[in-house]
Chains A and B, each alone.
Chain A
Amino acid sequence: MSRDVSLGSVVRSEWIKFRSVRSTVVGVVVTLFLTLGLGALVTVLTRLHWNVVTPLQRATFDPVSTSLVGVLFAQFAVGVIGSLFVTSEFSTGSIRTTLSAVPKRYELALGKLIVLVASMFVIGEVASFATFSIGQAIFSGVVPTASLSNSSVLRAVVFAGLYLTLLSVLAFSLGLLLRQSAACISVYVSILLIIPIIALFLPTSWQDDMRRFLPSEMGHAMISTASVPNNFGATTSLVVLVGYVAALFAVGVVVFTRRDA
């Protein structure tokens, strides 16, 4: 007899769970609102002030990263989606019911991961392509625009969606480790906001060496067409970020597998 529980059935089960709670729906709406809303706001302001922008600023202006800047705010919303997907199971106690149906814990974690990655990839790409298109439409006629036919532009827009996907998994992995929603979201926000501020107090030479390792800086590099000074290139940033997330997920799964539920 074939086993009834498999990765496929776990994915189906987790997909039902993922879409059947309001926190996911709210998280997705906020993600789109932050990406598109802030993207629109920044591009409109850029257009209105374009006549007072200095020639030097005009030379380094990146219409792509400017239109994608909302992604760097939406990263907090996707973090909440990712962490609640697992921490809500612990806070409500439903993890016990879940594990009695799916006793192999790595299978459960992997199933959740697949659901999260697939849905956040779609949402992330929809958000980044939409905000890019809206931004270029707002720029057109006054500010230089970029086109998706340019491969580095396309790369930056696709990477913006990937960045959101990866950060939701980062928060999810923290959730596997920490179990509590508040703790998980605090640590997540600290990684993105507090550590960069602490880094500002380091000697400048250290700062330049260190900042490129921060996830938020990698995000900055990933959504830009030109390379950002002192940062890794876009592709290197993606690879390093995938490495971080994979390592954290692996640690999360090991801890999840060993601890009492």
Chain B
Amino acid sequence: MITVEHLTKRFRDTIAVNDLDFEVHPGVVTGFLGPNGSGKSTTMRIILGLDRPTKGQATVKGKRYAELRDPLHEVGALLDAKAIHPGRSARNHLRSLAASNRIPFSRVDEVLEFVGIASVANKKVGNFSLGMSQRLGIAGALLGDPEILLFDEPVNGLDPEGIRWIRDFFRSLANEGRTVFVSSHLMSEMAVSADQIVVIGRGKLITQGSIDELTASAKGSVFVRANNHQQLLNALRAKQGTVTEQNDDGLSVSDLSAEEIGQIAFDAGVVIYELTPQRASLEEVFMDLTSDSVEYGSTGVRRES
């Protein structure tokens, strides 16, 4: 359980985190979402006691990080995979961490094996690819078999196989009852890997809740294709439906359910060829939510891709 209360962090003239409140619970994967520069990493650094909050506090199991008795047994964290001395071998890096918390060296070999980098354990970390460094970072987070895990942008640099592996891995950690807190700036990633999400923008909380609640709250629409679009349009408008888009292919209707539209069409004698409910994708929900709070947004020339 991670609790963030009224957390505010001010650097000289910018507010990185602004009166943030949220909780992260055990047993689920909680995604921490926001555009680049929205304060995710700062929040995670404060949770780990690396940065001091200007106001408010962040606690882990009710304690500030510095008060934890056995930090690696309670919290495992991966903030920046490349933040390791490049001249040290993977094994020595993990051994130094293990020694500080009296974790036996046999555990080092176990986690190296688990993340799949045992064969390069004696190689210098400086020669590792980003994907290998991510795996080493994950191995470090797992060393103390902690109840709470924090990962800052863990899928960056992983290949598709690695991404699939890490998703399954987060899921299994949560299923074991652990608290899993994962930041990302990619909504699409969170849509498939998280249960709960906390969305921030410009350091402020935008929304939090389950993925399902979030998509449900977003406006959906229904796509209809019929034999007579004009006749259907008139019938729908008579029933308070809003047609947001109309072309030769069909109509996009909001404010009415697929069942209602089917009934209206039936009553009007219109033949329906296709009737597809379209939920707003999480990506759209996210863009919508954070559009006002993108720090480094692109304006002006937009290149179509």
Q: Which residues of A approach B to under 8 Å, CB–CB?
A: 1, 3-5, 9-10, 12-14, 16-17, 20-23, 88-89, 92-94, 96-104, 258, 260-261
Contact = CB atoms under 8 A, between A and B. Distances in A.
Given A99-B50, A261-B50, A93 B82 contact: yes
- The B interface is mostly helix, strand or loop, or mixed, namely loop
B102 interface: yes
B107 interface: no
A11 B38 CA distance: 38
Interface string B43-73: 0010011111000000000000110111111
> Top 5 nearest A-B pairs by Cβ distance?
A93-B83, A13-B100, A13-B99, A20-B92, A4-B70
Nearest to B89: A20
A16 B95 contact: yes
Interface in B248-268: none
Instruction: Identify which of B69, B95, B101 gathers the most chain A CB atoms within 10 Å of its CB.
Output: B101
B66 A88 contact: no
B80 A93 contact: yes
B65 A13 contact: no
B96 A5 contact: no
Nearest to B76: A100
Instruction: Identify which of B79, B87, B98, B100 gathers the most chain A CB atoms within 10 Å of its CB.
Output: B100
A139 B51 CA distance: 59
B80 A21 contact: no
A89 B303 CA distance: 41
A9 B51 contact: no
A90 B95 CA distance: 20
B84 A5 contact: no
Contacts of A92: 83-86
A20 B83 contact: no
Contacts of B83: 92-94, 96-97
A147 to B, nearest CB: 43
Contacts of B68: 103
B232 interface: no
Given A21-B87, A92-B84, A104-B66, A9 B49 contact: no
17 contacts: A3-B70, A4-B73, A10-B100, A12-B99, A13-B97, A16-B95, A20-B92, A21-B85, A23-B87, A96-B48, A100-B72, A100-B75, A101-B71, A103-B49, A104-B66, A260-B45, A260-B52
A5 B71 contact: yes
Instruction: Identify which of A10, A99, A258 gathers the most chain B CB atoms within 10 Å of its CB.
Output: A99
Given A5-B70, A14-B96, A97 B82 contact: no
Given A12-B99, A97-B79, 17 more contacts: A5-B69, A13-B96, A13-B99, A17-B85, A17-B92, A20-B88, A20-B92, A93-B80, A93-B83, A93-B84, A98-B100, A100-B75, A101-B71, A101-B101, A103-B68, A103-B71, A261-B50
B45 A4 contact: no
B138 interface: no
A19 to B, nearest CB: 9
A17 B48 CA distance: 22
B140 interface: yes
Instruction: Identify which of B49, B85, B101 gathers the most chain A CB atoms within 10 Å of its CB.
Output: B85
Nearest to A24: B87
A101 B48 contact: no
Interface string B178-194: 00000000000000000
B7 to A, nearest CB: 14
A178 to B, nearest CB: 19
Contacts of A17: 85, 88, 92, 96
Given A9-B101, A13-B97, A261 B51 contact: yes
A104 to B, nearest CB: 6
Contacts of A96: 45, 48, 50, 79-80, 83
Given A5-B100, A21-B85, A92-B83, A100 B92 contact: no
B102 A4 contact: yes
B105 to A, nearest CB: 10
A16 B45 contact: no
A76 B269 CA distance: 93
Given A5-B101, A92-B84, A100 B48 contact: yes
Given A9-B100, A260-B45, A261-B51, A100 B71 contact: yes
B224 interface: no
Interface string B141-177: 0000000000000000000000000000000000000
A5 B68 CA distance: 10
A100 B49 CA distance: 8
Nearest to B66: A103
B84 A94 contact: yes
Contact of A22 (B49, B72, B87): B87
